[in-house]
Amino acid sequence: MPTNLLRKVWGFDGFRPGQQEIVEAVAEGRDVLAIMPTGGGKSLCFQLPALMRDGVTVVISPLIALMRDQVRALREAGVEAGALTSGNTEAETDAVFAAIAEGRMKVLYMAPERLASGGTVNLLKRAGVTAIAVDEAHCVSQWGHDFRPDYLRIGDLKRDLGVPLAAFTATADVETRAEIVTRLFEGADPVTFLRGFDRPNIRLAFQPKNSPRTQVLTYAAARRGQSGIIYCGARARTETLAQALREAGHPAIPYHAGLDPDTRREAEGRFQREDGLIVVATVAFGMGIDKPDIRWVMHADLPKSIEGYYQEIGRAGRDGDPADTLTLYGPDDIRLRRTQIDEGLADPVRKSGDHARLNALLGLAEATGCRRRKLLSYFGEEMAADCGNCDLCQVPPKLFDGTLAVRKALSAMVRTGEWFGSGHLIDILTGTSTDKVRERGHDQLPTFGVGREHGRGQWQAIFRQMMGLDLCRPDPERHGALHLTETAHPILRGEENVTLREDTTKGAKPANVLRTQVSEEDEPLLSALKAKRRALAEAARVPAYVIFPDRTLIEMAEKRPQDLDQMAGISGVGAKKLESFGRDFLSVIAGDQPDMHPARRALAGKPEGPLFDRLLQITVDLKRGEDGTGKPLSLTHRTLSHIADRKPRDADALARIPGMGEQATERFGPAILAEIARAG
């Protein structure tokens, strides 16, 4: 029965690894705790059992956007689902209550905050709830990075309803798992499935900061046209980086908690609907985003913890196709994160735990071997061999015995009273006689000039790695001066050795680029299928993947079904979607396309044709301005044809093109000129 429903509703011929056992345990009414990697298909593991049992399954989920997306996807698949959230319209809430009263409701989503309402339990009893599912269950843990106090009420709800509970998360170390069991299952042992944390399709990479803005722009330029997220540590930085990306010709928008709710919702909606959009965000963005075809995630600043890092990179490649990640970090990031912990209001035990989590992330950043092995070992998993899909596997670092260099650096700290930062210490080690060095008599120290064998860049790399290995920490009470940790003393005494990497900023190259998803022969058809998907999604006001995910369109492009029978065999085409969209996509495959505009047809077969198409996309992306709130503007096909043909090289020449007014030149000009420059 599960496989029949899987094919009929979701259009899948089989389960992903690890799903079937969980589905069967949940359907049998057992209490379940499932730790599954992001992209491993968690939602199916509670949605499918909901269709296999009588009554309603209530799903506790943390974000409105996440609930809305999953409800829309279920409805498109023919499943009666609804959500009760603070974002509901009166009509939406009435429709949910009507479905409950008529016994049609199967999956009801609800935010944990609603559990504080006194009438919620009675409502769920009247609705006939027979099971509870908890998504993002790590939010119950005060050790976790997404703690939500209202999650603590879920255990009471389970007891009041007397029904089984299934909890799901992609991020749970040993401490967090123990707290989930205590809080949600009141200490009783649920059936636990640990399906692993490995996401082999995601490429892991770290890079020390060396002109960070250039690094960001270079990375984005190599992935032009692919949807991506760039995480930043500060709100202001999201604004400046988004602006820099737009000036470089990328569709990019900022996102942070300081924006008004309407702007944030618009940003979320655009990211869901549009292909190739870049969101530059704080960690306020992402947990509610269910977009499966995010091709890359970049951290422009060091994350707070290894759990946060894992959760954030996990938003890439949820469709199982290759995805890229890159994390930039530097000494300032390390100092900031240490200071945030030390100056926080947490008790000493919590601070110690936070430092340990940061140490794990820094250890990953400064790893000398396979990063994936290092990452998975933190979550208690061991790999038999290196992954081959991280930067260190693909380009092994040059290592050296750094014991002597580290001892010299630690000695310089001790001899200066642990009162100075790395810049002054490097001056001492390299024998640089600055005014500050001479005024304090540090040119007379035994350590003055003992490190001349390394250049300043290498010493900066050594100090960064020392902070990453937690051999020294910045002291917030001494304005960030470095002081030794207990870990450093055995090295200083000559009892332990340390291996370091050579300065990795020298000759650093951009990471490998993940390019085409299909063969060159199938690319035009895939583009046409995506265009049809986008049109249908915009008409229905739903994210594109709700119509079909990329993987389904790729299979269509490769197999080219000729009728509804063949279309029904494509993975992801269930009965309801076959009925709703099958003929539309068969028409695209058969080549029944709308007539091409005469202005574009005149450029067919010429190099200017593809440039015309890209210019047209620019006008669509910027129709309402960079922030999506401006007065609508557009350019005629004839004007775009003139631009593609003449290829103006500056704003004055562009403004002279027939149809280009002052407002159009101001709005579209920078992006058009950047595209023309790239086209050569």
Which segment of 75-84, 380-389, 412-421, 520-529 scores lowest on mean pLDDT? 520-529
Task: Supply 317's token pair.
Answer: 């490649």
170 and 277 belong to one structural domain: no
> How many angstroms separate the CA atoms of 669 and 328, rounded?
32
349 and 446 belong to one structural domain: no
6 and 140 belong to one structural domain: yes
In contact, 428 and 448? CB cutoff 8 Å: yes
299 and 443 belong to one structural domain: no
Residue 512 located in a structural domain: no
For residue 404, give the H/E element and its range: helix 403-415
What is the band of 652 on the pLDDT scale with cuts at 50, 70, 90? confident
User: Does pLDDT of 597 surpass 50?
Assistant: yes
What is the band of 327 on the pLDDT scale with cuts at 50, 70, 90? very high
Sequence-distant (≥ 6) Cβ neighbours of residue 233 within 8 angstroms: 282, 300, 301, 302, 333, 336
DSSP state of 8: I
Residue 168 located in a structural domain: yes
User: Does pLDDT of 656 surpass 80?
Assistant: yes
pLDDT at site 136: 86
Higher local confidence (pLDDT), 367 or 507 = 367
User: Does pLDDT of 519 surpass 60?
Assistant: yes
User: Does pLDDT of 570 surpass 80?
Assistant: yes
Sequence-distant (≥ 6) Cβ neighbours of residue 218 within 8 angstroms: 510
Sequence-distant (≥ 6) Cβ neighbours of residue 226 within 8 angstroms: 276, 295, 296, 514
Highest average pLDDT, of 83-87, 195-199, 409-413, 466-470, comes from: 409-413
142 and 210 belong to one structural domain: no
Highest average pLDDT, of 357-366, 373-382, 399-408, 480-489, comes from: 399-408
Task: Supply 353's token pair.
Answer: 């735990």
Residue 225 located in a structural domain: yes
390 and 404 belong to one structural domain: no
Q: What's the whole-number mean pLDDT along residues 259-269?
A: 84
298 and 387 belong to one structural domain: yes
Residue 666 located in a structural domain: yes
Residue 631 located in a structural domain: yes
In contact, 473 and 464? CB cutoff 8 Å: no
> How many angstroms separate the CA atoms of 221 and 50, rounded?
44
Q: What's the whole-number mean pLDDT along residues 340-351?
A: 81
Q: What's the whole-number mean pLDDT along residues 213-217?
A: 94
Q: What is the CATH number of the domain that holds 292?
A: 3.40.50.300
Report CA-CA distances (Å) from 394 to 328, 337, 553.
18, 29, 31
Token look-up 């009162």 returns 419
What is the band of 175 on the pLDDT scale with cuts at 50, 70, 90? confident
CA geometry: angle at 463 spanning 461 and 466, to 5°?
A: 110
Choosing from 172, 194, 216, the residue where a domain stops is 194
What is the band of 518 on the pLDDT scale with cuts at 50, 70, 90? low
pLDDT at site 12: 84
In contact, 32 and 131? CB cutoff 8 Å: no
Choosing from 176, 194, 212, the residue where a domain stops is 194
For residue 439, give the H/E element and its range: helix 435-439
Q: What's the whole-number mean pLDDT along residues 499-520?
A: 61
248 and 291 belong to one structural domain: yes
Q: What is the CATH number of the domain that holds 553?
A: 1.10.150.80
What is the band of 118 on the pLDDT scale with cuts at 50, 70, 90? confident
10 Å Cβ neighbour count for 222? 16
**% of the chain with per-residue pLDDT over 90:** 36
In contact, 104 and 78? CB cutoff 8 Å: no
Residue 508 located in a structural domain: no
216 and 186 belong to one structural domain: no
Using DSSP bridges, classify how beta strands 481-484 and 472-475 pair: parallel, antiparallel or unpaired: antiparallel
What is the band of 604 on the pLDDT scale with cuts at 50, 70, 90? low
Q: What is the CATH number of the domain that holds 484?
A: 1.10.10.10
Task: Supply 267's token pair.
Answer: 């940003």
In contact, 657 and 668? CB cutoff 8 Å: no
pLDDT at site 515: 47
CA geometry: angle at 193 spanning 190 and 199, to 5°?
A: 150
Token look-up 């080549």 returns 591
Residue 509 located in a structural domain: no
Per the structure, the complete domain to which residue 578 belongs is given by 520-589
**What does the pLDDT look like over 281-313, one tens digit per residue?**
988 676 556 688 899 999 999 998 888 898 899
Q: What's the whole-number mean pLDDT along residues 507-524?
A: 58
pLDDT at site 172: 67
Residue 543 located in a structural domain: yes
Task: Identify the CA nearest to 272 among candidates 256, 253, 292, 258.
Answer: 292
What is the band of 145 on the pLDDT scale with cuts at 50, 70, 90? low
pLDDT at site 2: 76
Q: What are the residue ranges of helices labelled H in 274-326?
A: 306-313
User: Does pLDDT of 593 surpass 50?
Assistant: no
Choosing from 166, 194, 222, the residue where a domain stops is 194
**What does the pLDDT look like over 607-637, one tens digit per residue?**
787 888 888 888 888 888 887 778 888 888 8
527 and 664 belong to one structural domain: no
**% of the chain with per-residue pLDDT over 70:** 93
10 Å Cβ neighbour count for 507? 6
Report CA-CA distances (Å) from 366 to 325, 361, 453.
16, 9, 22
DSSP state of 408: H
170 and 212 belong to one structural domain: no
Residue 348, class by beta-carbon neighbours within 10 Å (0-12 exposed, 13-18 middle, 19+ buried)? exposed
pLDDT at site 511: 47
10 Å Cβ neighbour count for 401? 11
Helix axes 422-429, 403-415, angle to 10 degrees: 110
pLDDT at site 99: 92
**What does the pLDDT look like over 10-68, one tens digit per residue?**
888 888 878 999 999 999 999 999 988 776 788 999 999 999 999 999 999 987 777 88
**What does the pLDDT look like over 440-452, one tens digit per residue?**
999 999 999 999 9
Task: Supply 563's token pair.
Answer: 């009728």
Half-sphere exposure (CA, 13 Å, Cβ side) for 428? 28
Task: Supply 358's token pair.
Answer: 């940061």
Total domain count for the chain? 5
Q: What's the whole-number mean pLDDT along residues 252-277?
A: 86
User: Does pLDDT of 142 surpass 80?
Assistant: no
375 and 277 belong to one structural domain: yes
User: Does pLDDT of 510 surpass 50?
Assistant: no
Higher local confidence (pLDDT), 591 or 667 = 667
